[in-house]
Amino acid sequence: MASLQHLPCTSATSTTSATQSRRPLFAKPSHFITHAKRNNRLQISCSSSEDQVNTPQGKVDRRNMLLGLGGMYGAANLISTPAASATPIQAPELDKCGVATNLNTGQQLDINCCPPTSQQIIDYRLPPVFQMKIRPSAHRVSPEYIFKYNMAIDRMKRLPKDDPRSFMQQANIHCAYCNGAYDQPGQGTLDLQVHNSWLFFPFHRWYLYFYERILGKLIGDPTFALPFWNWDNPKGMTMPPMFVDPKAAIYDDKRNQANLPPAVVDLGMTGNKDPLQVVANNLTIMYSEMIRANANVYDFMGQPYRAGTPVNPGPGSSERGSHVGIHVFVGDPRQPSGEDMGNFYSAGRDPLFYCHHANVDRMWSLWQYFLPSNKLPDKRITDPDFLNAAFLFYDENAQLVRVTVKDCLDNLRMGYDFERIDLPWLDYRPPAQTAKAKVTRTGTSASKAETVFPLKLDQIVRVLIPKTKKGKADELLVIEDIMVDTTKFLKFDVFVNDEDDNVGELDKAAYAGTYAQVPHKTNNKSATTSIRLKLTDLYDDMDVADDDTVVVTLVPRHQGEGVTIGGIKIIENPTPARP
């Protein structure tokens, strides 16, 4: 399916013709500056020197900078603070931290993931931003940057083991929050889990924020910024070269040796061996999870997770897609449980983990401020249970601090931005199907839904699903009651009216989306969730207007059992996009 002709050649000129630019403030502008569709202009006002920020263009009023560039969240949070809620997830109680669990075996770990305890907890306040940090692409950094980065990691590794800023203590943060070491405060033995819900992006943003500040403190450089692994761009679809030097502090030997450069990242985990096709698949995945498949804010961010809620209410499109793909691509199959990156408890032991999640964080920023606003009616979550959810971290001074979600919704307000990189996936909408995919052809081997569910997804399944109405309706495909074994890696892809049945190719109109998970622990080793996939663009690219039904094909990418699906249905989109 993939071809050189189909891979886009992007440029600033071609991209900005479709969008309006945002006025630059920094020497190395963010991708938002060139690509962002923003009309607000920076306003300069008279204020005291204490309120001004130094930029290469001169002094700028910080309040105007935040309001002009901070976007919807930054402005809202400067104006008001949401009222307290009774049910947000509360910060864990460190003195009640328990034994974490190996996600692939379900057995207790022989390591202690719990951090040092402290009786002094301070509510964290974001410091003033006097100079914006620019996180660079890991494939474009200079030798000087690589030297500084390795020096910072080396010094972090040399800290005493009981120092909460030490490398292993920082790695254990992910272990404790993600492998069942913490219970939800006041909820008995109900696990606290920051994945597979609306907490995914905020938790990891705070995690990297303090990790970055600790590294900067250790080398005496407050402007130090973490690199991001630009795996969404073909030029970044290999492990960044600086991470594969065995003599470097940022090296980790527990990685898949078959996936070292020049191996191309396979975000879809399709097993396709054609590098050109893999790149095409990757770009299609990015377009799908960032633009095509989301009908509302929760489809991207993840489903609500409140105090008393069991873990795994539902991951967003980015978390269950490219995020999982990188974890599995890097994790070492020679290790018992896919260590380091392939398992939550050990992922933070690989410095590449933080580089990966810097790009995950970049995806959130792009989705917030850059992607076309007409695709979703609203990208904000104003629910107090989201905004007031809290975590605990040790800052660069080894002070235990409490942070909330509402203070991390704007990366500019937190003092960092990203190097501008072209976004080839932005216009990588799959080509329209040239011939009508009639159900009479694609549905010959499909079963009616009422005869199939519930089903164990251990092989390819085709199901005939009725549409809500004829024509190009604004509809959602809902895959519900997905019961998963949380100790396993699981993934399946979804196709609609797929005629060629070449499941190694995703760059086609029939590809609707995916579900995937990195192993994670729950009390009973199982969880039930659901996903929604928007069909509007897919219908536009396939001639299905006169059809009463469509054929949904489910393609498992994992081995063996582990997924049971309760049902599939098509519903009308209750929150259609603005025209």
- Residues recognised as catalytic: 174, 195, 204, 323, 327, 344, 357
Q: What is the DSSP letter of 288?
A: I
Question: Tokens at residue 528, please?
Answer: 């039930």
**Cβ–Cβ under 8 Å, residues 1 and 413:** no
* Residues 6 or more apart whose Cβ sits within 8 Å of residue 309: 197
Q: Residue 191 in contact with residue 527, Cβ under 8 Å?
A: no
Q: Which residues contact 372 (CB under 8 A, 6 or more apart)?
A: 37, 291
Q: Kindly report the CA angle at 521 between 93 and 359, in degrees rounded to 5?
A: 85
Integer angstrom CA distances of residue 3 from 238, 277, 278, 404: 20, 8, 11, 46
Integer Cα distance of 153 and 214 in angstroms: 10
HSE-CB at 530 with a 13 A cutoff on CA atoms is: 13
* Helices 200-218, 351-369: inter-axial angle, 10-degree rounding: 120
| Cβ–Cβ < 8 Å for 530, 473 | no
Q: How far apart are CA 441 and CA 448, in angstroms?
A: 15
CB 541 within 8 A of CB 509: yes
What's the CA gap between 317 and 322, in Å, rounded?
9
Residues 186, 192, 194, 196, CA torsion sign: negative
DSSP string, 404-469: EGGGSS-TTTTTEEE-----GGGG-PPPPPSS---HHHHTTT-EEGGGT-SEE-SS-EEEEEE-SS
Bridge partner list, 491: 516
CA distance 116 to 341: 24
| Number of residues written out for the chain | 579
DSSP states of 143-179: HHHHHHHHHHHHHHHHS-TT-TTSHHHHHHHHHHHHT
In the chain the first and final C-alpha atoms are separated, in Å, by 32
